[in-house]
Amino acid sequence: MSTPSTDANPDADLDADYAGAGFGAPLGFGHRPALLIIDFAVAYLDPASPLYAGVETTLASCRRVLDAARAADVFRVFTAVVFHGNGEDGGVWYTKIPSLSVFDFGSPFASIAPELSPRPDELVVSKQYASAFFGTSLASTLTAKGVDTVILTGLTTSGCIRATGVDSMQHGFRTVIVEDAVGDRDERPHRANLFDLGAKYADVVSEQTVVAYFESLSRD
């Protein structure tokens, strides 16, 4: 039996293996997109928070994507985790991650980052679980708006982005994840989940690709 070269690029091997098995076909953009800004809360930006994740670069990218969506009049939805009654509506998830208490109603950590403050004409969906679709009216809202493409930004890649991305696909939407505008507390789960999402559930594209897409819509 031959021994693989130690100089081989394991990432290239992984890409080739998945491509050879038929994963990762591109979905492409549709005609009626919506931008989702998932859970970009102060909790991930304030070092005093147990969930601080050092995602300032991600925040800057998310803001640029949001600005482009606003300029193109793309439908925009923010999500925010909010728990009531000492987390009783958070169920087992709240028990599994005690630091989710930073999202208790009235906590300053639960606020959406001021750099991304929603405008009066932008929808804010409150949720208690990882997916923005679970237990909310989001799917019905997007369907009523005629949306065919859901573009995801926000936090965290391995948590609420992943859960929302899978559910978005399962609700029949072309799903696009903006690689530069999603983040996590560690690069390892971030990269692993982007790879898996891109292989099975969504297109993972650059900020520049999405901004150019929005700009093309504004010219139509």
In this prediction, residues 189-204 reach a mean pLDDT of 97
Asked whether the beta carbons of 167 and 200 are under 8 A apart, the reply is no
Which of the residues 151, 160, 199, 211 is marked catalytic?
160
Q: Tens digit of pLDDT for each residue in 43-70?
A: 999 999 999 999 999 999 999 999 999 9
pLDDT at 1 over 50: no
Asked whether the beta carbons of 199 and 24 are under 8 A apart, the reply is yes
In this prediction, residues 152-164 reach a mean pLDDT of 98
3-state secondary structure 173-200: CEEEEEEEEEECCCHHHHHHHHHHHHHH
Question: Taking all residues of the chain, what is their mean pLDDT, rounded to a whole number?
Answer: 94
In this prediction, residues 162-173 reach a mean pLDDT of 98
Is residue 160 among the annotated active site residues? yes
Q: Tens digit of pLDDT for each residue in 74-131?
A: 999 999 999 998 899 999 999 999 999 999 999 999 999 999 999 999 999 999 999 9
pLDDT at 37 over 80: yes
pLDDT at 3 over 70: no
| Alpha carbon distances (Å) from 53 to 67, 71, 128, 189 | 23, 29, 20, 13
Tell me whether the omega of the peptide bond preceding residue 58 falls within 30 degrees of 0, making it cis.
no
Amino acid at 172: G
**What confidence score (pLDDT) does residue 2 get?**
40
Prediction pTM value: 0.92
**What confidence score (pLDDT) does residue 5 get?**
46
Domains and CATH numbers, the chain: 29-219 (3.40.50.850)
Q: Tens digit of pLDDT for each residue in 132-156?
A: 999 999 999 999 999 999 999 999 9
